Amino acid sequence: MSLGWKLYWLLVAATLAVYGALVLWVGPKIADLSSGGAAFDYFMLGYSHAEAKEFLAALTPEGAAFYLGPAMWLDTVFPAMLALVLGIGCWWLLCERPLILRLGAALIAAGYALFDYLENAAIVRMLTSQADTLSAELVAGASRFTVLKFFFFDAAITVLIVLLIARAIWRLFGAAPAVQFTVAIDGPAAAGKGTISRVLAKEFRFAYLDTGLLYRAVGVRALAAGGTDAATAEAEARALEPGDLTRDDLRSPEASAAASEVAVHEGVRATLIEFQRKFARRDGGAVLDGRDIGTVICPDAEIKLFITATPEVRAARRHAELQASGVDITLDEVLADVEARDARDRNRAEAPLVAAEDAVVIDTSSLSIKEAVAAAAALVAEALARRG
pLDDT at residue 2, as a whole number = 55
DSSP SS3 for 59 = strand
pLDDT at residue 173, as a whole number = 67
Q: Which one, of 208, 238, 15, lies nearest residue 109 by Cα?
A: 15
pLDDT at residue 310, as a whole number = 95
Q: Which one, of 286, 135, 154, lies nearest residue 207 by Cα?
A: 286
At 43, the amino acid letter reads F
Angle CA 349–193–254, to nearest 5: 70
pLDDT at residue 282, as a whole number = 87
H or E segment to which residue 286 belongs: strand 286-290
Q: How far apart are CA 247 and CA 241, in angstroms?
A: 11
Q: Parallel, antiparallel, or unpaired: how do β-strands 182-186 and 286-290 relate?
A: parallel
> In the chain, helix, strand, coil percent, each to 5?
70, 5, 25
Other Cβ atoms within 10 Å of 383 Cβ, number: 17
Q: pLDDT tens, position by position, for the chain (388 residues)?
A: 556 667 888 888 888 888 888 777 776 776 666 665 444 444 434 455 556 666 666 777 777 777 778 777 887 888 888 888 888 888 877 876 677 888 888 888 888 888 888 877 777 777 676 445 566 666 676 677 777 887 888 888 888 888 888 877 776 666 555 578 999 999 998 899 999 999 999 888 899 998 878 988 999 999 999 999 999 999 999 999 878 888 888 877 788 778 878 887 889 989 999 999 999 998 889 999 988 899 999 999 999 999 999 999 999 998 898 888 787 889 999 899 889 878 877 887 777 889 999 999 999 999 998 999 999 999 999 998 887 6
Q: Which one, of 75, 82, 79, 70, lies nearest residue 11 by Cα?
A: 82
Give start-end residues of each CATH 3.40.50.300 domain in the chain: 177-206+284-388
pTM for the predicted model, two decimal places: 0.55
Q: How far apart are CA 216 and CA 239, in angstroms?
A: 14
pLDDT at residue 158, as a whole number = 86
pLDDT at residue 220, as a whole number = 93
pLDDT at residue 45, as a whole number = 40
Q: Which one, of 60, 29, 57, 26, lies nearest residue 43 by Cα?
A: 26
Helical axes 3-21 vs 72-93, angle rounded to 10°: 150
Q: How far apart are CA 329 and CA 345, in angstroms?
A: 23
pLDDT at residue 31, as a whole number = 66
Other Cβ atoms within 10 Å of 350 Cβ, number: 7
CATH architecture observed for domain 177-206+284-388: 3-Layer(aba) Sandwich (3.40)
pLDDT at residue 46, as a whole number = 46
pLDDT at residue 101, as a whole number = 81
